[in-house]
Amino acid sequence: MEHRITAFTDQHRARALRTPYHSLGDGREMLVPDWAQHRSVYRSSGRTLYLVETDSLAEARDDLERLGRAGWDVRVAEDPAAPSRARIAFTRKEFARAA
């Protein structure tokens, strides 16, 4: 008989990765930061893309690094006309590799 034991931290991390906003929250509730002014979600072929537009890229930097460490592929496209503005895309890292 085979048993698989998953550490609580692994279970907690998998649950927190449902959305980037769950990853930023405390694991039970979502946190939508103030810098995420315009948010969109696109779904297709088992893949979900979260797109955020912000006017406060500097304010978002710490959260973006945290999301990267939490298993999200974070891509930032800065607006050349206004460096504080950017479009930010989030996908789960395992899906980003498969695409």
pLDDT value of position 32: 95
Per-residue confidence in pLDDT tens, the chain, 99 aa = 454 443 444 444 444 458 999 999 987 789 999 999 999 999 988 789 999 999 999 999 999 999 999 999 999 999 999 989 999 999 987 655 555
CB atoms inside a 10 Å sphere around CB 82: 10
Output the pLDDT for position 14: 47
The confidence score (pLDDT) of residue 74 equals 96
How far from 10 is each of 32, 54, 64, 71, CA to CA, in Å?
Answer: 23, 31, 21, 12
Residue 98: CB atoms within 10 Å: 10
> What is the model's pLDDT at position 8?
42
> What is the pTM for the complete model shown?
0.74
